[in-house]
Structure 1
Amino acid sequence: MSAGPGASNGGAGGIQAPRVVPLTCHGHSRPVVHLHFSPMLGDDEYYLISACKDNNPMLRDGITGDWIGTFLGHKGAVWQARLSGDASMAVTASADFSAKIWDTFSGECLQTLQHNHIVRSVTFNPGQTHVATGGAEKKLRLFDLNRTDSPIEVGPQMHTGTIKSIVWADPTTIVSASDDKALRWWDVRSGNLIEEFGVNELIGSCELSPEGNLISATAGKSVYFFEAGSRRLIKSITTPYEVSSVALHQATRRFITGGSSDTWVRVYDFDTQKELEVYKGHHGSIWSVAFSPDGKLYATGSEDGTIKLWKYTDQPYGLWK
């Protein structure tokens, strides 16, 4: 497969594969604002879920992008969607003042977690026994899936802005990223604040790496990489562009960014901080980027309502075989 007309020239920083056209996943009718891959579930088996302002999160085959199903039930934009560790469940955060938990096999809504304002962020704990939610209420809540009627609030009145993202860094530690320009690490057993890291701009994203050892965040034109366990800031990098999402490929020491200021996917060298590649293909801002669990492709979600899968290996893979 040859390169598309929008591809730039040059090698992909150690990835010597010939240029290939990305796979475009259609189906959404409004901006795609969040993407999340499941872990590897077997040989060449993993899944991708997308959150979209069209109210309808979608489940896809992670390698091919083939549509599996749409979760129907939200009455407002879905801001975030995540899969559980075994991909048997999904959780979604919506502008309809609710989070919903879904059976990914049947598509059935298992539980609705009602809130008093827009829910922007959701995640499962590693054991799949709890869900954390956050949003415009500025409250970080933990729901026990066996009794969701009595959530626990972590750090009451500590957040003074909308909680945009939540990451369960390990079984006892959760990270919240909010519009008060701070990332906060919490001990979920005691509810105590462990550490706070302030940034200068509004946070765009905060995600856990597929390996589970790294937290990547964006704010303004800067990207931040933390060790998930020690909370140590490994590196912060300022780019020339507004960055809404970032994903690091640890083996090749390259990171991918998407932004609100243009429609291009950018590839950077982690060590030199130099821009290596620019990929053109989307027709709107790029709100979410994520590497697959095997690191052989990455996905981008855009304002244009599409998801694109980009090959990131020099070997035949998926539909590029």
Structure 2
Amino acid sequence: MTDSDELNKQVMDRLEDLFRDVKISNMETHIREQHPNIRRTPEREIHDGSCPQSRKNSVDVRRTSQDVRRTSQDVRRASQDVRRASQDVRHGPHEIRRASLNTGRISTAAIHNSSAAARKGSFGARRDSTPVSLREPGSSRRDSAVRRCSLDSLESGRRDSLASVGSGGSGGSGHLADLIEENEEEPEPLSPAQPARSSSVERPRFVPVTSLEDVQAVRCAEFHPFGKLYAVGSNSKTLRICAYPKLVDLRDDQVTYQPTVLLKRTKHHKGSIYCMAWSPVGDLIATGSNDKTIKLMRFDADSCSVEDPALELTMHNGTVRDVCFIEDMSNKSSLLVSGGAGDCQIYVTDCATGTPFQALSGHTGPVLGLSTWGGAMFVSGSQDRTVRVWDLRSRGCVSRLQPPSVHAASRGSAVAAVAVDPSGRMLVSGHEDSSCGLFDLRGERTIQTFRPHDGAVRSVRFSPHAFYLLTGGHDNRLVLSDLQGDLTMPLPSVAVAQHQDKVITGRWHPYEFSFLSAGADKTCTLWALPPF
């Protein structure tokens, strides 16, 4: 196992704690009641199909782990409440207090051991199981029981846990003494490799590792496919390529520092750099600008250098808002897809010749976002409030989606960002009305519309295995949503990073649990979750 794999294991374990006790009851969500076209199978899966045995085992173990952990937490809360309520009851029989002390120690030790064993089994089973069932052909979505978010089930768990504590005592006084003495027990000694964790431990948080400062707003940032570099573009017309740091020794008290800039090109465009993309193998980089041009350059990752002069594409007659690469497997060459304002057309360019060979019409407003998968498919989001699915083999639009709004009286909102998971089964869209839409592409249906931000959503991206969704918005925040449960139910969401001004871009690392964010506060920041 490599250092990177070990680091990811530790970070994955901490990600579970990140969503501990997340409240979702007040989240503004429009699901099946508002959108009748959502269909749920009895198993609460988006797609039918048999679940692999390893997935079933993982679900069972994780369900046990969560139940035991929830029971342990409820017992602690109940004991603290009873202790506060019974501070005046201090003269109980000595024999009852001694018996309750023994009972409390045995009960707590059993819960502690069961929780530790379940957590260990859960993590091992999860790492050995198939990564994402929704994203692989022929398999089903992860079982909805992986993460239960129902308030009814939570209250039921609390009642069961309190009943189990009360059943050990004889009469009201014994029950009271059990709870008091259980809370007063001395903790078991821990080994040096096992740091102490109390019920008051703060939730893990992403920390800013590096921060690149510019003189104007930073609009875009993209990781190189190999993960060792990342590029940054800003309104100052400057293109930078920075080194990705090692995160093995990252700690919660990390001091943010400036990244190492390996390449800097001032006046790369005549206008602001609005977007950029790397080719799938990392040998090409493309940037788009409000000077209505795209610059395409060959890149050498070993020497971190670009080939001059850059190829300039001038087919757009408005601001180029987004670009993405498609690997043409038939010709073993790269294709560049670009869209923006002006004529609102999407252009497909052969990177080998630098010649645009397709102009795709359909949108009636500026194209604001693009996302591709599978070698011939891509989606586009537009100011015209629609998402379109395109297939280069048919040379046209194969599907048109109009995401519903979170506001009942609205007929939708401009689509500012789109992303598709690697398998091409799930699509997410970010909107200017602060909402996000989740879609089943193969079933051509809306799963749900939810609102993770208080301002326009400008960036949406799936994590490397699509277990999580990262969104950035004009409320200055980046929010992480958990996609491992029933996708038709409200999604647990946590704000994981914040800028001093509007967030414009958020991008995941190709294989580590870190991400870049760029914003109107003139910074580009690398965030990571410490493994310890």
Q: Per the shorter chain, which TM-score range?
A: 0.7 to 0.9
Contact 2:416 2:459 in 1 (8 A): yes
Give how far 1:196 is off. 0.7
CA distance in 2, matches of 1:252, 1:82: 20
Aligned to 1:74: 269
Give the corresponding residue for 2:63: none
- 1:302 offset after TM fit, Å? 1.1
- Paired residue type of 1:306: T
- 1 CA distance for matches of 2:446 and 2:351? 33
Contact 1:165/1:205 (<8 A) preserved: yes
Letter in 2 for 1:207: A
Per-residue deviation at 1:310? 1.4
Q: Deviations over 1:101-156 (max 9, x none)?
A: 122332334311013222111111124521111111201111112333443212x3
What is the count of residue pairs matched by the alignment? 298
Q: Does 1:306 align with 2:523?
A: yes
2:327 corresponds in structure 1 to 126
Q: Secondary structure at the match of 1:160?
A: coil
Matched, 1:93 2:292: no
For 1:252 and 1:118, locate their aligned partners in 2 and report how far apart those are by CA, in whole Å.
31
Mark the runs of 5 or more structure 1 residues left unpaired by the alignment. 1-9, 316-321
Question: Which residue pairs with 1:167 in the alignment?
Answer: 371
Change in 2 beyond 3 A, CA 1:161/1:252: closer
> In the alignment, which residue of structure 2 is the partner of 1:293?
510
- Normalising by structure 2, report the TM-score: 0.51
Match of 1:53 in 2: 235
Q: How far does residue 162 in structure 1 lie from its aligned partner after superposition?
A: 0.7
Pick from 211, 234, 239: which aligns with 1:25? 211
> Which letter does structure 1 place at the counterpart of 2:501?
G
**Contact kept? 1:296, 1:313, Cα under 8 Å:** no
Q: CA RMSD in A?
A: 2.9
TM-score by length of 1: 0.81
SS class of match (2:310): strand
Cα distance change on mapping 1:249 and 1:143 into 2, 3 Å: closer
Asked if structure 2 preserves the Cα contact closer than 8 Å seen for 1:298 and 1:312, the reply is no
Aligned to 1:204: 416
SS at match of 1:309: strand
Matched, 1:237 2:471: no
- What is the distance in 2 between the residues matched to 1:231 and 1:111? 38
Match of 1:142 in 2: 348
Greater CA drift, 237-246 or 166-175: 237-246
1:183 Cα shift? 1.0
Counterpart AA for 2:478: V
CA 1:247/1:116 → structure 2, altered by over 3 Å: closer, same or farther? closer
Q: Assess, with a 3 A threshold, how the Cα gap between structure 1 residues 308 and 228 changes in structure 2: closer, same or farther.
A: farther
Q: Is the 8 A contact 1:17 1:314 kept in 2?
A: no
| Cα displacement (A) at 1:294 | 1.2
Within 5 Å, give how 1:103-114 maps onto structure 2: 103-105=298-300, 106-107=305-306, 108-114=308-314
Residues 180 and 109 of structure 1: is their aligned pair in 2 closer, same or farther, counting only changes over 3 Å? farther
Of Structure 1 and Structure 2, the greater helix share is in: 2
Query: In the TM superposition, what is the alpha-carbon distance from 1:37 to its structure 2 partner?
Result: 2.2
Please state how far the C-alpha of 1:283 moved relative to its aligned partner: 1.1
How far, CA to CA, are the matches of 2:393 and 2:417 in structure 1?
25
More strand by share: 1
Render the CA deviation track for 1:247-274: whole Å, top value 9, x for unaligned: 33376844332211x3233333344423
Whole-angstrom distance in 2 between the partners of 1:56 and 1:229: 40
Q: Which residue of 1 aligns with 2:463?
A: 249
Task: Give 3-state SS (helix, strand or coil) of 1:26's partner.
Answer: strand
Shift of 1:211: 7.5
For structure 2, list consecutive stretches of 5 or more residues without a partner in the other structure. Answer: 1-15, 21-201, 247-258, 404-411
Quick one: distance in 2 between partners of 1:240 and 1:35? 21
The verdict on how the C-alpha distance between 1:216 and 1:46 changes in structure 2, with shifts beyond 3 A counting, is farther
CA distance in 2, matches of 1:226, 1:164: 18
Q: Whose Rg is larger?
A: 2
Question: Does structure 1 retain, via aligned residues, the 8 Å contact 2:509–2:515?
Answer: yes
Change (3 A) 1:172 1:21: closer
The DSSP-based 3-state class of the residue aligned with 1:85 is coil
Q: Distance in 1 between matches of 2:420 and 2:234?
A: 20
1:135 partner amino acid: G
CA distance in 2, matches of 1:48, 1:214: 26
- Following superposition, the deviation at residue 100 of structure 1 comes to 0.7
